[in-house]
Chains A and B, each alone.
Chain A
């Protein structure tokens, strides 16, 4: 079951990556791009977790956790930048 699910999941995640890339490149607005970037972070987390399941190891989960945190901080900062320009005031 897993042997079938994982390749399919990989394929779907790859597609998601490409679609996100499309949105990052196309925009049209900055918020669109930021949102796409945030989604890319989420996609990466999923990819890594998938990869961990695939290799049957927990090591990648921590990386995923960190990506989650960094993604959050990054998105917050860009959003703040859009709002106020100055992210630390």
Chain B
């Protein structure tokens, strides 16, 4: 260490006592009071290592990217359906009447430097955000990370998924283009289908009968403030609990429910995670710059008498779309009242999907008669029953998702649409139990082998 002693004496000689890092830390020490002691302890916060633990970070960094790009977009977007006549630079729409909102998105895309880039990064980030959340949720599920003491965090996470998905729906509806406007019409009709209160609720939510002239202005503060604030708040709770309870870890040498083994926060983990933030931002920026998404100028402005085929919502609503397509028109007449068929796939089914998801930690605890503290994860092969249920559930959602794009798939692969639809309706009932059974058999054998041989 002779060179360090040399540096120290040199510093003393030149009157520089401490490194910048030391000086900054010293300033914090003096001004934070007891808080700096907490910071000092957390320098050595332990993070278990696995690629699977980065999935939540993908979601977190997508959120940061969405907020940053969203701020830029918010500076240019006009949340108003006031009719204007377009006189911008996109020739095929010059002279066409449209809403101010749609016109502002065209201006942003064609006339603001980097406007289209930011718009596209924002949209790609939204798609990847929900995908990452779902994969993150599946990882939690298949490894048992939802068990006590993380049950509340599971509920918070699931709430985040719902808020994010809904915010995405509102977000892509803001440009008021033909594709998303048709989706708003469907949302209105679904709300209308609720018994007793449906028409009133729809009118209250939209501010009048469809096409309500204030719906974009109403969506705007919800999308840019209300839901992001809710998401940020829940996210803070989610990560706060993660911080206090520590992250779960995969089984391994030296690891048990009392001992956490991993990488220290500073410097290695902080470097890795900040590097990963840049990588997430970089990949999404590459997509946003090189791959066109949501070309609203081709869709045209929303008018209630236009329509387009190949009309789907963004992918994360595809399961709902598929359910609506597959469910037959079984309207129910109750005396002088009507319960429209769409109520079941669009209102009841989401409840049936999310309720067991929310209750899962408690259901799982009751089924396994295991309500204890767990910090070590269980591998999918160790719990063949849970893995099978999860696989069946994923299959169920996949069938719905595929049904949501059935006309595009039929047209792209030359299939007959009615045959495809009928096949999917059969698979809806048949595929999940078959997949669950197969998964159970496969993983049960692996579990038995593992129990017998330890490997």
Tell me, yes or no, whether A binds B. Answer: no
